[in-house]
A and B are shown apart, each in its own frame.
Chain A
């Protein structure tokens, strides 16, 4: 830049004034002019004569009115209803002798068939309203505008969640529209204590964001912390909830997600009931919940919809999957290159036999296979759907069959890598499986350099990191470290619903009891009553 300035000899103008990020802020300071034409001209200027900006000038007996809206952002029928009101019904009333004038407050009070109407006095407010799909009703000589709620645009229908698919449970998933998402939560939690705080984030995108919590259940301190962190955000655009996630999480350098995401309204409501805070972002079906703990990552909403006995097995399997996917390749490398004495003799001979034709060390072999697998997974995600199958067949043949026969990898390595690969997808949380897949590589490096010692070194490092993580102040590894005996009812196994009477210890501490003991006692009393009746008979 300095060079450029030296050459041209004058300061190069790079910045637009005011910068787009500050434009709305600046406009907030500018009050509406009283002259209608001037206002319309100014709005046209602000939008740069945008093609989809509609300015409808109306003349009524007593003066001049104008409707301004963005085509495609509004519901045509609502706008027509307003026009009908102004152009057909009003004149009749005025003809009958009523003097309504162009006084907007009187319009507001008696005469517009629209649900929500706001009064705005600055250009900033009007422009913002128009951008949100509201219709601005302006009158000559007023200096204020009515913003009529006419917002409507094309949106995706509610459909089954793609990432968090379940066997048993609601089939409904969040959509991109924040209003629809809010409704889905409201429908499941019909209680006035549900608090909804709306705000707008992103200086250019002006994305709607809502913070939801249950008053009296959520910790006030956490809610306040969420508000504080969100308020500090200064960013040009928020296109997905991850923008927020990265801006407000506790340890931005950690590989583990410290904020939960879900696209299931049932899971969102369950988190609310436990005392967590939800953050909804317009434009994405992924809702954030805080604070989150590690175990939430291996818990699936389905765990609560199946009978409780089965959950123990499923959760144990997932925990096992975590260790398999993180350590299996590294343990294989460590055992075959450093600790051959730990392998049972027949297996050792068979491994040696399989590796006989493989030209490079087990570590290289493992890295190669892992790399090929990751390539296949990523390619499978991006490929056009009809192609996906062809590629997976090629992948299976190339990796599973040909590579072994060509002596590039050993058959045992194929088994190790494919087991690892499949185990990574046991977790209900895609974020966790991504983190673990990534962590696998340093683990493999450590084990190929230091053997089992390296693996334990890595494990210690990992555990140290995990226990010092916080999610909005809540220790990430609760209820394991710190250990809470009470919370174990929903940890590795899940207690039946009639026995889960308490909310999680820290996060649910403002209202620790989930089921009042009287309910449970009633359950027992009922049983006793049935017994008695049987005896009477």
Chain B
């Protein structure tokens, strides 16, 4: 017992608060932008500003609350360490929400950056990764505030909610590394773009009650950056991203716009339930890839006055919907083929199903992609809370 007490005593005073750092001695990174200029890495970090956030929140046009700092270095690590020349506190990466990579840096290759992220114990593997259109630094510096305090929080929020728009797939360091390590998958990252908003209404000023036009630009998710190994090879345009999503992460809640049968009027359908599956059919030495998507749709809104719940129009809507999905997938595959990448992971799928066949084609992947057929089946299950067309039109008819 005496020895135990002595040991405890020694422990307390010999260890002496090693590694101790008070929470207010840290500078929390909210988001970071990484660019490469020639052979120098530029790191721009947006730090949470604890003091600044204490201010009156009701103040008009609440701007961004972060503090922006930039540093450069020969390697990414030295650039980050050089931040200490500017920031009077220890730069702390564990709460970093998102890292934005410059398009140039991505095109040059992310090997060094990724290795740093995975090796360093502070940067989490759940950090969101983005590729900016143009310089990443510009994006971090120029964007104005949103309803969130910092760009980092805004990105984290977008990652959660962007699924609804189903035009992006936000990925993390972990996703990227896993894709990179997997045979037959090409990694991809979500794109970010600055959008000028000249007539943007800001927030209401509490003092005079009028609307202030906030000048400046905002960030927006835009497109998907496709990679071959660690090098970015090109963009998948925004309207094709859903083609990948149908296979990788079927977007429940996606809206598909089709025409009311027999008219040119639009009707939007909401996907209530959707599931996809891949199949590899063998026929002698030949293989055929079958992409299956099945789901349930519900009527979201229409412009005509017809009652679309009738069996005949339902069938037409379903067929149109299936065609749209098929078209989207085809377009995405086309773009990917052009760039010689496979973000769908077809190669990985074939590897698991038919390893022998995979070893025959892997050297020329993804050129040797087998012919693809589609099995898409959608079912109209609900017309929402009403059956007829817009009430307004019916009233006009009278």
Residues of chain A touching chain B, judged by Cβ–Cβ distance below 8 Å, are 253, 336-338, 340-341, 343, 345, 348-349, 351-353, 355-356, 358, 361-362, 445-446, 448-451, 457, 461
Q: What residues on A are CB-neighbors of B41 within 8 Å?
A: none
Residues 6-20 of B contacting A (Cβ, < 8 Å): 8, 11-12, 15-17, 19-20
Q: Is B23 a contact partner of A450 (Cβ separation < 8 A)?
A: no
* Alpha-carbon gap, A356 to B27, bound state (A): 12
Residues 23-40 of B contacting A (Cβ, < 8 Å): 23-24, 26, 28
Q: What residues on A are CB-neighbors of B20 within 8 Å?
A: 337-338, 361, 448
Q: What residues on B are CB-neighbors of A349 within 8 Å?
A: 28, 48, 50, 53, 95
Does B88 have its Cβ within 8 Å of any Cβ on chain A? no
Does B51 have its Cβ within 8 Å of any Cβ on chain A? yes
Given A345-B95, A445-B12, A449-B12, CB of A355 within 8 Å of CB of B17: no
Q: What residues on B are CB-neighbors of A448 within 8 Å?
A: 17, 20
Q: Is A450 a contact partner of B15 (Cβ separation < 8 A)?
A: yes
Does B22 have its Cβ within 8 Å of any Cβ on chain A? yes
* Alpha-carbon gap, A338 to B26, bound state (A): 11
Q: Is B23 a contact partner of A355 (Cβ separation < 8 A)?
A: yes
A340, A362, A445, A446: the one contacting B26 at CB < 8 Å is: A340
Q: What residues on B are CB-neighbors of A450 within 8 Å?
A: 11, 15
Distance in Å: Cβ of B102 to nearest Cβ of chain A: 25
Q: What residues on A are CB-neighbors of B11 within 8 Å?
A: 449-450, 457
* Alpha-carbon gap, A461 to B4, bound state (A): 9
* Alpha-carbon gap, A356 to B4, bound state (A): 38
Q: Which of B19, B21, B24, B97 has the most CB of A within 10 A?
A: B24
Given A340-B92, A446-B12, A449-B11, CB of A348 within 8 Å of CB of B28: yes
Given A449-B12, A449-B17, A461-B8, CB of A352 within 8 Å of CB of B94: no
Q: What residues on A are CB-neighbors of B97 within 8 Å?
A: 345
Q: What residues on B are CB-neighbors of A353 within 8 Å?
A: 50-51, 53-54
Distance in Å: Cβ of A440 to nearest Cβ of chain B: 15
Does B74 have its Cβ within 8 Å of any Cβ on chain A? no
* Alpha-carbon gap, A337 to B95, bound state (A): 15
Q: What residues on B are CB-neighbors of A461 within 8 Å?
A: 4, 8
Q: What residues on A are CB-neighbors of B26 within 8 Å?
A: 340, 352
Query: Chain B residue with minimal CB distance to A349?
Result: B48
Q: What residues on A are CB-neighbors of B17 within 8 Å?
A: 337, 448-449
Q: What residues on B are CB-neighbors of A337 within 8 Å?
A: 17, 20-23
* Alpha-carbon gap, A358 to B24, bound state (A): 9
Q: What residues on B are CB-neighbors of A449 within 8 Å?
A: 11-12, 15-17
Given A341-B95, A349-B28, CB of A336 within 8 Å of CB of B23: yes
Ordered nearest first, which 4 A-B pairs have the shortest CB separation? A341-B94, A353-B50, A355-B24, A336-B23
Q: Is B23 a contact partner of A362 (Cβ separation < 8 A)?
A: yes
Distance in Å: Cβ of B271 to nearest Cβ of chain A: 32
Query: Chain B residue with minimal CB distance to A410?
Result: B24
Does B367 have its Cβ within 8 Å of any Cβ on chain A? no
Distance in Å: Cβ of A335 to nearest Cβ of chain B: 8
* Alpha-carbon gap, A451 to B22, bound state (A): 12
Q: Which of A336, A343, A348, A448 has the most CB of B within 10 A?
A: A348
Does B122 have its Cβ within 8 Å of any Cβ on chain A? yes
Q: What residues on B are CB-neighbors of A358 within 8 Å?
A: 24
A-B contact pairs, 21 of them (CB 8 A): A336-B22, A337-B21, A340-B95, A345-B95, A348-B23, A349-B28, A349-B50, A352-B23, A352-B28, A352-B48, A353-B50, A355-B22, A356-B50, A356-B51, A356-B54, A361-B20, A362-B22, A362-B23, A445-B12, A448-B20, A461-B4
One digit per residue, 1 when the CB lies within 8 angstroms of any chain A CB and 0 when it does not, for chain B 53-96 equals 11000000000000000000000000000000000000010110
* Alpha-carbon gap, A187 to B102, bound state (A): 86
Query: Chain A residue with minimal CB distance to B16?
Result: A449
Distance in Å: Cβ of A1 to nearest Cβ of chain B: 32
Q: Which of B12, B20, B51, B122 has the most CB of A within 10 A?
A: B20
Q: What residues on A are CB-neighbors of B51 within 8 Å?
A: 353, 356
Q: Is B19 a contact partner of A338 (Cβ separation < 8 A)?
A: yes
Query: Chain A residue with minimal CB distance to B15?
Result: A449
**5 extra interface residue pairs, beta carbon distance < 8 Å, beyond A349-B50, A352-B26, A353-B50:** A340-B92, A340-B95, A345-B97, A353-B51, A461-B4
Q: Which of A345, A352, A445 has the most CB of B within 10 A?
A: A352
